Amino acid sequence: MVLATGMLLTGALLSGCAETPVAGGPLDHARLRDGTYEGSYRGGPNKAAVQVTIKDNNIVTIDILQHQAWRGVIAEKTVVARIIANQSTRVDAVSGATNSSRVIMNAVQNAIEKAYQD
């Protein structure tokens, strides 16, 4: 019984640490509407909520409203700077904070999708 309980507990912990896929990519600037948009994403043990400001069809600011992470807080400034510089939600992750990096990228992507006009 103890072995079975330990295996279940280990399995639950490992499944919470599954690798988060990256959902986004380069922006479709022609479809972006100016404004401020919020997005969030949960992947594994991490969650992020962001506010993205679009002006003149570009991301100009990204504010992290919430970021549940342990070591991943080191990714916040770097990932945000990379997204703005590259105008893409698919940028290099921060070493040692890959999951948090991807969660932030995906939260920004979810905000960007709200900024697209059809």
Mean pLDDT, contiguous 10-residue spans, the chain (118 residues): 45 57 89 97 95 97 95 95 97 96 97 91
CATH number of the domain enclosing 73: 3.90.1010
3-state secondary structure the chain: CHHHHHHHHHHHHHHCCCCCCCCCCECCHHHECCEEEEEEEEECCEEEEEEEEEECCEEEEEEEEEEECCCHHHHHHHHHHHHHHHCECCCCCCCCCHHHHHHHHHHHHHHHHHHECC
Domain extent for 19: 2-115
pLDDT of res. 117:
83
Number of domains forming the structure of the chain: 1
